[in-house]
Each structure stands twice: as C-alpha cells, then as structure tokens.
Structure 1
C-alpha cells in the first residue's frame, strides 16, 4: 500500500495542482474564425496546390502563413479549430482540456500511453500543442540554434514575428514570487528578471496566456496569412503521401496527399506542376514518423509486417524517440494561491530546470482520472475508480491540496532514447512508442542532483514564509494524490524516487532526426518534393519549453523556402 501511495497518479500530478490547488490583413468572421479555416467536408475532392502542409500545429501554422505570402497553400489539420472550443481558450480550463481525451476523433488532446507506462498527450487541434499546453514561452538555448547552423538575424526576427502576436509577460502572484526568491536564496542565479531569452539562473519567462487568462495559439499566427492563397481544412486526416518517380534523380517524388474528411469521404490534394512545389509534414513527433511509415518511408522490415509497399527503406524513421523525464513535488501553503501555470523558471548549469505552477480549479475529478499508476496498475478503469473517491476525502485534506503549489523538475537533455513503431495502419490511432526513461545512468544522476536542489528549495527561508508541514493525518491522504519532497538525500533512494514518480511534461521529440531522415533544409533524404518541419526532427528539446522555438522554426523555414525559390527562379 505504501508503494502504491508513492506511485499513485504520478503522471497527472502536474495537472492536478494546476487545476485544483498584424502586418497582412486576413479576412475574419464575426466569431473570430478566419474565413479560410473550413471543415474538410467542404473541401474539393481533388485540387492542386503549391504547398501541401500536413498538420496545422505549432510549426504548421506559421509555416503556412509565411508560404501563403506568395504561393497557394493547403493545410490539413486532423482536429478542429480552437475558436470552436471555449475550454481551449481559457487558463482556468487548462487541465480540463488535457483530461478531455475520450472522444476518438474530436477532443483537442489525444491520450496515449507509452510502453514505459507513462500516460501522455498529443494535440489534435489547429494550433497544435500551443492550444493545449501550459503556455510557457521561452526561446531556445543558444547552443541549440548554433548546432543547427541557423542564421541568427533571421532567428531573432522570426521569434519577434511570433512574439508580436502570441506572447507577453505574466503578472506575478505570491507562489511564483516565492519560488523566484527561493531559487535565488539557494544559489540558483543570477537574477535575469523578465526575459524570453534562455539564460542560466532565475527568470520569469513569457506566456501565451494574456493578462485576462485568454490563450493565444499558433493558429493566431494565421492572421499574417494571405487569405486569397491559403486553405485550412479541419477534421482532415491525412492517410498517405502520394508518390511518383523522378527518372532524372532516380528518387521517389511526392505528388500529393490522400486525406479523408470527418464523414470518411476521400480527397486528394495534389501538387501543382510549378517547380519547387512540395509536401511538408508538420504532424508532430508522433504523427510525422507515423505518416511517413504509412506512406512507405521507414524501416523496410517493419513496413512489411503491415504489407505496406516500401517507397524508401529508411531505418531512421521512428528511431531516437525521446521525452524529458519530469518530477513534481506538492508544496502545501498557509493560504490559497493564485491561478498560475509556468512563469518562474530556474535554469541550472547541470541541465535541470525547475518550474512552478499553482491555482484552484473545479476539474479535480476529471484530472485525477487521467493520472498514472505503477506499471502493474496502469489502466483507465482503475484510475477513474480512484478519482471517484477523491471527493470523499476529509474536507481538510481537500482544502490542503487545493491550497498547495507544485514544483516541477525537468531533465533538460536526457541521453536515453527509444523508438516508435506502427500499431496498425489507421492513422487516427496512436502508434507504439517507448521512450526508455532513465535507461542511461546519466539521466538518473541528473535527476538525483536536480531533485536535491528542489528539496533544498522547499526548505528555503522564502518558502518557509508561505508553507508549513502538513499534519500526518492530512499527509497520509495527500500521499495518494501526489508526491511531496522526499525526506532523504541518499542517492540510491532519490534515484528510486525519480523512477517511481516520473511523468511527462509533453516535450517528447525525435523520430525524424536531422542528418538521418532529413537534411539541413529539412528535406527527406532520398526523396524529392518532401520535407518534415517540426519537433520530430529534434534530437533535443530547445530551451526550457519548446513551443516558442517550434513556432519560430515554422516562420524561419517558410522564409528560407521563399528565398530558395526566389533564387532558383532568377
């Protein structure tokens, strides 16, 4: 029972404490939805485009907006529009959105469980992860940009292009301020104040939530689009990339995409005969390698298991899947805390990030129902059974939990990686994925050192002004819901604590590495007229939180492609 209480519901601790405790004019309708965002059931059975973008997510939206400046673009988004979903747009409903994974086709978040046993989420909505995440906005660490040989002037201009629409700095309540002061007190410095930049020390980053708690997503970047050149179709499931054969290069050449609308009717988006037209996959770290495999690009032996004709034998597709192990600690407070998601962050030299969140919400039951048990217990039926018992906890326990803040610790650069494989040939279903959390001892060491700093933070003078020890009677019940700071400094015990309480912060990446599956221009190696531009090409997660960089990348690569075509046409 003690082990169960330690492990119980680790994966959704983050959710629990977050919940309970324009330069070009685009045509916009009265309700705020762009006129060019349409249900896929209204799309033509067949039509030609200069660019076909699969995935209207964090990279796909800025990429499409940029390319539409000069070319005809179609975006195929498997989910709906955030404008149609009130829960998506409010900070108060953050956890409810992540908990809403029951519907097989229309919920904005699609749940999946890795073979490691950790429950996770992938976006299924226009705007992608920026429509369902905790909203933190922070630029990539400079090494990440330098390692990709990107042009700094264009990188900075692209970040600013994004920030002008979706980012601002949050107000600071007592919890975020206390964590900020506590980090400085224990030596996590210097004080970098409010900044979007990635800097060692303590800072307050940006947020895609405005001062009223309204969420701005990558879909808002579509306001930059040329409304006459862009067609965004929602509930459009891309099933297969279509290929021809280029006799001059001897390579398969993408010619279009087969997709279905919400009624199951088949459509074909085909590339125009214009030189330079391309299919660009921006379907995310799970969706992009999955679609490549379903289209015949991937490990030949694996594709043969599903009788998929091999277009290109590429063993690297689906390899190197990585997720950043995340740990959480509940910190009880004497007083109710503000509603806040991620604002304060401590960036440690050892590659460990400490973040904070807090705030009450009425969605307790929904959130707890999605938590994770020890691998031997992990199933939704048991999770929801436990969730139904939460309201029967003593009132003082519920109040203490509601008043608590949460600390999050993220391992910045895990060495351990895993793989992605097809589960079936239905693109709407999740593939099989394993991240191999803590397989490499270096990751356990990083976790142990980071958790030691988190424990030190909970014991700081700054924290003591706000927090206090829970009574044992309350602590017993609270232990069923979330881990508190481990009462030990022993490496072996802290390592065990890391393994038992690991969860995700939804920064998984990989599956289509640069220089393995795609080249430095994000073209698929061995194929023509096909690129992948999204987090599946990352071998590490940029900065503390990747969304700002993914949006920047969409804009950056859109400009690079426009320049490339301009240079080849002259």
Structure 2
C-alpha cells in the first residue's frame, strides 16, 4: 500500500522539487549527475540519439528525446555553472570579450573585418548573449511550416524555466519613452510576442542578475537515459560506405561519431537500431562539422584532403549576420547596469535596443584593440596596422571621463533579415579551429537603407525630451558619431565622409549582434523535417537552417525549436 501511494504522489513531488522558490534551476544544474567530463567517457558506447552540440537548441532537444530514448550530448565547451560569477549580468562585457582558453567564447574575425564570437559552453549562445527573450514573428512560424499550437506549447515549456519579466529602471525607461515619443508605436507593454511598436521583452536574467541558460532545460531530462559530456570535440561523423551498407536506398548512412576529450583520447559513439545523429552545433559549427565529415562542396573538401561522402555545394552557403550599428552615450547621471529590456520594432525593418552601465571607455577600447591583434596574429597572416582608440578626441569631448569607464550606455539598431548573404568554408581540418566566415554586410542596398533609417531613429530618441536627462547638453549627436568613429570597433577601412554620411557610417562601423544563421538551409541542405538530404540517419536542427533571424533576438525560437523537434522525432518513433 505504501509503495502504491508513493507511485501516485511521485509526479507531484517531482514538480514541487522543480519549482521550489528557494532553489532555482541554475542552482540545481551543477548537480545533474549525467553531466561529466569527456575524458571519463567509455571508449565505445551506443545510444539511440547522438546530439552534437549542447547549446541553445541541443539542450532542450536532448532533454525531450531522453523521455523515451537514450541520448548522448557532446559539448565542446565547459559548464557555465562552474563559474557562476562569470555569467552574471555584471560580467557580461568581460565574458563576451574573453579570449583566454577557458573562456565561454571562441572569438574570430570574419573576412569582413568584424570581431565576432562563437559560444563554447553548455547552453551555447544563451551563456554569453545579452539575455533578451522574445518569440518569433507569426510570419516566421508560418513560413517554416510549423504546427502553431505545438510551437506555442514549446515556447511555454521553455519559458517556465528561463524567461522572466524584467524590472525596468531609469535608462531603459528613458529609451522606452523616447521610442514612444518619436513614433515607434503602439506601446505594447510587456510581452514575449513579436509586436510592431515598442515593448518590454523577456529576459533570461532574473532580478538578481543571475543568468538562466538553455542548460537549465536539462533539468527536464530523464537522468537515466541521457549522458552529457563536456569538452568533447567531435572529430567527424562516421558514414557506412554505400557499397557495403546493404541498404535499399543506396545512400550513405550516418552510424556514429568520433570525439576527443581534453586529454586528447579518441572515443567512439555509435547509433542503436534506427537511431539518428543530430547536429546542433550552431550556424558556424554545423556546416563546419558536415564538411569535416565529407558532406559539402566536393572541390573544397578535396582541396583539404577530405574524402567526399556527398557532394553538397550548398553546405556553408547563405551564411548571414544581422548588421548592428551603435552610438555610445555618456551620461551626466548615474545609470543602472542593464542589458536589453526594451525593443522598438519599427515598420521599416530595424530593431532598436539599448544597454547601460557597461563600462564603455578607453580601457574597453584598448581591450578590443588587443583582441584584434591577438586573433589576427593567430591566423598566421602578416601583421597589419590595427586601429587605435583616439584618446585625444575623447579627452577633448569628455574631459577626464576619457581615461575611465564612461558612465552611460549604448543604443543600437539591428537590420531585420538581412538580405545580404555570405558563406562559411574550412580554414583547416582541425575541428578546434574557426572556419573562415564571410557575412557580406550591406551587400544588398536594402540592408543599408534600413540601417540609415534605424540610425535616424536612434538620433531622434537621443534628441527626445524623454531621454534629455541622460544627455550632456554641450555634447551634440555629431560628437557621439565621432566618438564611435574613434573606436577600434572593426578592421574595416574608415572614410572621411563617415562622420557626415549615415550610409558610410553604417558601412565603416558595422558590428555583429551575434545573430548569425544559415549554412544548412531548409530546402537546400535539409528537408522540412531537418533531415540532411542525400544521406540517412542525420539531421541538422539549429539556427544554421534559418533563412533569417527570428524575431528581434533568436534565442527564444532556437530553444523552442529544440523542444518542438524533439517531440516530433519522438512521434516518429
């Protein structure tokens, strides 16, 4: 009788434990016993599903699959919960620009000359991003052909764990009221939904500044059916040779992977029965691993000495990153530390967001300069002249403020889409190395037009009555434009007319907003079920399949996609 009672109340006990107010998911995550170092993995193992990449999509996907199948997750980075201070709101900028070997980012410079970063941690981009949580626009869901009811349920499944309504303080309130004043309307209040106008979005930071990441979603997993290995770098996906597979389809079939831990020891993991390998390594990692495994443009693979499994010229193509441009705004008043909470969703295709108290100043600019030099020299290319922070210009404009971290914030605009596309290709055959990435910012004139309109909106907000208390009265907007032009924001040529032409300013000072996508597009590399076309037992499920970045910020939709496709795959079983 006692056992029967326990069986009846056990589900309620589990739910209660999960949602205790005094114990967050983040606090429990370090104690998940199925998360281990790769060097402790068996030399050979078997699973129903092998998920490559424990990131923003991979974690919810694996947690869902584990409910009815055995799952292996291979994450090349470490656990964010071993260094909780590092992922706290207060350390956002330091963590994002950290280039030490133990960092949660792997930085690179695109061929466009823009400094960028890939996540290298359990939880993926949700470990290093600005935390804004907002769903995709309805058109994105319809064009993807997703089941709208299941999409809604999947978002809600994610939101129970990682999404919060932020407390909006002075700086963010001024940006919100400024956007309303200049006509970015209607005002929609707080909402997770994508709505034209100005709104307060969700955040994965709680009110104490603690970051809640996609790794927290692993608390949904069945601990008896899942293994997560950290610092596990996948070397390649293994395919059965067509001539010996004995399959009626006559196509290559993925059947396992090889991976290495930090100790350099190689491990093999194989599929059981009708299992699948699922790439969730991100927009850069997924096409890179496909090419290293022999799926990609044949000529490019052969040039690197890689045996071609499938000549697939579209792997790596269609890579895009939403261009971001910004103005740094010194403030005469103290400001709170805040990341993105407010967004202005304009009718012309630009998204306006802001942050404050981030410690922008000469020390930050000098750190950027050091990162450029270090990363560029690692490529083995000849040393070049790097941009220097113009200290004298800062001193003239802002006096003694120039030598310290400026009090104030930053307002940015992101171009929707974008229409401009690039590509990713292998640089070396070492999976630890970054591939070469080209984004072709502003190749399409429409993207540049939207950027100019976005910058005009930012300028209008800065000149609004609502924002006036955070502006030095003797510092015109032109000085703020000159300030950005004085910073070593990228390696692109600077033109004299950039100070007076918003078109040239956009081109010369373009930054990444880290929303890269593409490289494994639906209909070109994978089908509507995210199965890699031309091979069996292999899918790609992550942002590399997107033609555009969903919503204002993609993380909500990438997490949702992991849950959504996990459920669909289980239904297929």
User: Structure 1 residues 357-366 or 322-331, which shifts more?
Assistant: 357-366
Equivalent residues in 2 for 1:259-408, closer than 5 Å: 259-273=259-273, 275=274, 277-361=275-359, 365=363, 368-370=366-368, 396-398=400-402, 402-408=406-412
Structure 1 residue 365 displacement after superposition: 3.3
1:220 matched to 2:228? The reply is no
1:183 matched to 2:170? The reply is no
Structure 1 residue 505 displacement after superposition: 0.6
> Does the CA-based 8 Å contact 1:326-1:411 persist in structure 2?
yes
Tell me the number of residue pairs that the alignment of Structure 1 and Structure 2 aligns: 533
1:440 and 1:203, CA in 2 relative to 1: closer, same or farther beyond 3 A? same
> Does the CA-based 8 Å contact 1:28-1:35 persist in structure 2?
no
What do residues 45-95 of structure 1 show as CA deviations (whole Å, max 9, x unaligned)?
Answer: 001000000000000000000000011100000000011123433000011
What do residues 275-298 of structure 1 show as CA deviations (whole Å, max 9, x unaligned)?
Answer: 2x0000000011000000000000
- How well do the aligned residues superpose, as a CA RMSD in angstroms? 3.0
Structure 1 residue 33 displacement after superposition: 3.1
Structure 1 residue 458 displacement after superposition: 1.1
Equivalent residues in 2 for 1:120-519, closer than 5 Å: 120-244=116-240, 245=242, 246=245, 247-273=247-273, 275=274, 277-361=275-359, 365=363, 368-370=366-368, 396-398=400-402, 402-470=406-474, 480-481=486-487, 493-519=501-527
* Secondary structure in 1 matching 2:512: coil
Q: Provide structure 1 residue ranges, at least 5 long, that are not aligned to the other structure.
A: 1-21, 484-488, 566-570
What do residues 420-475 of structure 1 show as CA deviations (whole Å, max 9, x unaligned)?
Answer: 11001000000011000011111111111221111111111111233223559997
> Does the CA-based 8 Å contact 1:87-1:94 persist in structure 2?
no
1:431 and 1:250, CA in 2 relative to 1: closer, same or farther beyond 3 A? same
1:174 and 1:482, CA in 2 relative to 1: closer, same or farther beyond 3 A? farther
Q: State TM-score, norm by structure 1.
A: 0.87
What do residues 351-398 of structure 1 show as CA deviations (whole Å, max 9, x unaligned)?
Answer: 1000010014499736642259999x97799999957979x9687224
> Does the CA-based 8 Å contact 2:499-2:505 persist in structure 1?
no
Q: State TM-score, norm by structure 2.
A: 0.87
Give the Cα–Cα distance (whole angstroms) in 1 for the partners of residues 147 and 200 of structure 2: 26
> Does the CA-based 8 Å contact 2:361-2:405 persist in structure 1?
no
What do residues 170-193 of structure 1 show as CA deviations (whole Å, max 9, x unaligned)?
Answer: 111111000100111111000100
Map of 2:79 onto structure 1: 81
Map of 1:11 onto structure 2: none
Give the Cα–Cα distance (whole angstroms) in 1 for the partners of residues 505 and 387 of structure 2: 25
* Secondary structure in 2 matching 1:465: helix
Give the Cα–Cα distance (whole angstroms) in 2 for the partners of residues 172 and 85 of structure 1: 27
Q: Provide structure 2 residue ranges, at least 5 long, that are not aligned to the other structure.
A: 1-13, 19-24, 490-496
1:44 and 1:29, CA in 2 relative to 1: closer, same or farther beyond 3 A? farther
* Secondary structure in 1 matching 2:268: strand
* Secondary structure in 1 matching 2:171: helix
